[in-house]
Structure 1
Amino acid sequence: MFSNGLTCNLPFCMNIRDSGSDELLPTKTNREPVLLNVYDMYKINEFTSNIGLGVFHSGVEIYGTEYAYGGHQYSFTGIFENIPRDENELGEQFKFRQTIHIGYTDFTEEDVKRIINELGKEFRGNRYHLMNNNCNHFSGAFCKILCGNDIPPWINRLAYFSSWVPFLERCLPKEWLMPMALQHSISCRRDSTCSEGSTTPL
């Protein structure tokens, strides 16, 4: 159960509701692949390589859009959209590593948008924490809702060993934890004059 009361009965989330609508249920008509795109955060890895841990960013690709999570100072969602596998849109500290097929979902594209809106209440920008609530925690939660499968544990291994490096997050520049696509999304949210075709804030 998430802190906002959202619960999920695998393999499908059965109680996400949209205001004024019926209960959201999978349609059983789509078999859309759920893909996990993994990126090396190689600048952070310079800090963690001495203890044998890699630091990775991940995003979930579905219906041609990649959804990921990052930190910022505001109380609204830290979930953002970007072009799948586009490391340049994320920033220079990110390097695409691989795509992992997690499973298939029966949720429609519209259902996915509604799920993202609900997850945004839990994964807010100011709740981001490198060890306890990071992009990989989001990817795992999202994948479980979509298809009942978690992400591979090695992707978020650093979070399991957070007691080894409690100082790490304080040592990192904030921009390393805020991908460029998220920065643009925040700017769009604060400035209604964003140009057509730019990254859509969630």
Structure 2
Amino acid sequence: MDLNDSYPVKLYIYDVSRGMARQLSPLMLVTFIHTGKHLDGIWHTAIVVHGKEYFFVGEGINSCSPGGTPFGEPDSIVDLGFTEVPEEIFMEHLISLAESTYSVDKYNLFENNCNAFSNEVAQFLTGKKIPSYITDLPSEVLSTPFGQALRPLLDSIVINPGGNNITGQR
């Protein structure tokens, strides 16, 4: 493999509410009305590189073929550019993350989720962050009375679209 090889990096974005968040946003987030904000979706993200889709869920860091989760095809795909990080080094990095920041017991729907993982991996591979409308969503929801009231329930939710755990942990 030539050291000058570069590999495309894409962000796959899924709305796990399948459009319901957009429809119910005015009812759920009444306090957003005065700010002019609304909820367009409840985002699950993944990084696609080296022919696989990588994501963090309640069962750890998983991978599958691109678009191979039960979410189906992504709602949108963001081209993050290219990386020169070869697959072997990337896998070593993922295993390190799976043993530390993104281990099975560290998943949290609001603070340490698939979007935090995608953002960190995107920066590792390309130096670019994922869109802020995705990373800012949890704090925006929690800033509302409705979000605070639902937090205990929402904290118990673990999103798991399937895939193969990269460390074999379950």
TM range (shorter): 0.7 to 0.9
8 Å Cα contact 1:130/1:169 also seen in 2: no
Task: Please provide the CA RMSD for this pair.
Answer: 2.8
Structure 1, gaps ≥5 residues long: 1-26, 73-77, 191-202
State the distance in 2 between where 1:126 and 1:154 align.
Answer: 26
Q: Tell which deviates more after alignment, 125-134 or 57-66.
A: 125-134
Are the structure 2 counterparts of residues 163 and 100 from structure 1 closer, same or farther at C-alpha, using a change threshold of 3 Å? same
Deviation at residue 104 of structure 1 after TM alignment: 1.0
8 Å Cα contact 2:115/2:134 also seen in 1: yes
Q: Kindly report which structure 2 residues correspond to 1:42-191, keeping only aligned pairs within 5 A, or say none.
A: 42=17, 45=21, 49=25, 50-51=28-29, 52-53=38-39, 54-72=41-59, 78-86=60-68, 89-90=69-70, 96-120=74-98, 121-161=100-140, 162-164=142-144, 165-172=147-154, 177-181=159-163, 185=165, 189=169
Structure 2, gaps ≥5 residues long: 30-37
8 Å Cα contact 2:57/2:158 also seen in 1: no
Identity level (%): 27
Question: Deviation string for 1:140-192 (max 9, x for gaps)?
Answer: 0000011100001112332231232134453359675122336xx49x646xx
* Alignment: residue pair count: 152
TM-score relative to the length of structure 2: 0.76
State the distance in 1 between where 2:53 and 2:101 align.
Answer: 18
Whichever residue aligns with residue 59 of structure 1, its letter is A
Whichever residue aligns with residue 96 of structure 1, its letter is P
State the distance in 1 between where 2:53 and 2:83 align.
Answer: 15
Are the structure 2 counterparts of residues 177 and 47 from structure 1 closer, same or farther at C-alpha, using a change threshold of 3 Å? farther
Are the structure 2 counterparts of residues 37 and 111 from structure 1 closer, same or farther at C-alpha, using a change threshold of 3 Å? same
TM-score relative to the length of structure 1: 0.65
Are the structure 2 counterparts of residues 167 and 117 from structure 1 closer, same or farther at C-alpha, using a change threshold of 3 Å? farther
